[in-house]
């Protein structure tokens, strides 16, 4: 697009510096966003997936949802209907949670969001310890 | 396929899980991490627990003592919390240093 417009806008004498400036800025913008994306992805995807999976799996294991799924599937003749209903609900709630998290991350300062997230996880940890102590 | 039962299960589980600890954890983790990784990790974990609920049913809690599992989960969440709250812990302000 720019290449089509450039020659007509600027005479032949000013074409080289304009093109240079444009390509320079383009490279800089593309480069920085690329490295940022790469670094966050490299740093976290596997680790974030793993830590999320294990903590949530262990926290939900033997929890009320798993027990009610078990009860419903035991009572009914089609356990797979229960599984699919439960699976769809759980995927929806995690999707809503992640969307809400992203919405918050775009509106609150990174430092504040880190503190809030840390406090929330700490509270979850405390309630889990409380559950263990109550047994 | 019993669509009625599927719908009832969906509504029951959806309402029970709304605002529950795993959703709060998903909100907290995704606000400062890769949201796709958090979503996939969270959804996979929840699918596996409900699959175990359906397949292994009454046997599952005997295979793994729930109390021990919950204690491990509590320690895991505490570690994640401390990593976020620790001063100067990998703040995303200088991403080039990580590379």
CB A85 within 8 A of CB B7: yes
C-alpha R_g of chain A:
26
CA angle A30/A33/A35 to nearest 5° reads 105
Measured N-to-C along each axis, helices A79-105 and B21-31 cross at an angle, to the nearest 10 degrees, of: 40
Tell me the shortest Cα–Cα distance from B6 to chain A, in angstroms. Answer: 4
B82 interaction partners in chain A (CB closer than 8 Å): 118, 122
Q: Which of A45, A68, A85, A110 to mutate to test the interface with B (most CBs of B within 10 A)?
A: A85
ipTM: 0.78
Say whether B77 and A55 touch across the interface (CB within 8 A).
Answer: yes
For chain A, the domains span: 1-61, 62-135
Tell me the shortest Cα–Cα distance from B78 to chain A, in angstroms. Answer: 5
B10 interaction partners in chain A (CB closer than 8 Å): 85-86, 88-89
What digits encode the pLDDT tens for the residues A26-82? 333 334 444 444 444 445 688 889 999 988 988 888 777 777 777 777 777 788 888
A41 interaction partners in chain B (CB closer than 8 Å): 34
Confidence (pLDDT) at A118: 93
Say whether B42 and A97 touch across the interface (CB within 8 A).
Answer: yes
Cα–Cα dist A38/A28, whole Å? 15
One pLDDT digit (tens) per residue for chain B, 99 residues? 888 888 988 998 898 888 888 899 999 999 878 889 999 999 999 998 888 877 776 566 666 777 888 889 899 999 989 988 887 655 555 444 444
Say whether A101 and B6 touch across the interface (CB within 8 A).
Answer: no
For every residue of chain B, which 3-state class applies, written as one string?
CCHHHHHHHHHHHHHHHCCCHHHHHHHHHHHCCCHHHHHHHHHHHHHHHHHHHHHCHHHHHHHCCHHHHHHHHHHHHHHHHHHHHCCCCCCCCCHHHHC
Q: The whole model's pTM is what?
A: 0.70
B43 interaction partners in chain A (CB closer than 8 Å): 90-91, 94-95
Say whether B45 and A54 touch across the interface (CB within 8 A).
Answer: yes
């Amino acid at each position: 697009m720019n290449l089509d417009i450039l020659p007509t806008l600027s005479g032949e004498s000013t074409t080289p510096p304009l093109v240079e400036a444009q390509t320079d800025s383009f490279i800089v913008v593309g480069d920085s966003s690329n490295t940022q994306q790469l670094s966050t992805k490299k740093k976290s995807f596997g680790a974030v997936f793993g830590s999320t999976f294990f903590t949530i799996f262990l926290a939900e294991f033997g929890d009320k949802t798993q027990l009610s799924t078990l009860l419903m599937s035991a009572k009914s003749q089609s356990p797979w209907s229960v599984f699919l209903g439960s699976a769809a609900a759980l995927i929806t709630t995690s999707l809503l949670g992640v969307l809400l998290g992203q919405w918050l991350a775009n509106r609150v300062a990174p430092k504040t969001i880190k503190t809030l997230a840390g406090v929330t996880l700490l509270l979850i940890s405390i309630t889990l310890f409380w559950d263990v102590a109550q047994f | 396929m019993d669509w009625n039962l599927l719908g009832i299960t969906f509504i029951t589980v959806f309402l029970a899980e709304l605002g529950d600890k795993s959703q709060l954890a998903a909100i907290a983790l995704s606000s400062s991490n890769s949201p796709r990784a958090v979503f996939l990790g969270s959804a996979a974990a929840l699918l596996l627990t409900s699959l175990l609920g359906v397949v292994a049913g009454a046997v599952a809690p005997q295979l793994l003592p729930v109390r021990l599992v919950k204690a491990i989960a509590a320690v895991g969440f505490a570690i994640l919390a401390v990593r976020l709250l620790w001063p100067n812990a990998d703040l995303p302000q200088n991403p080039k240093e990580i590379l």
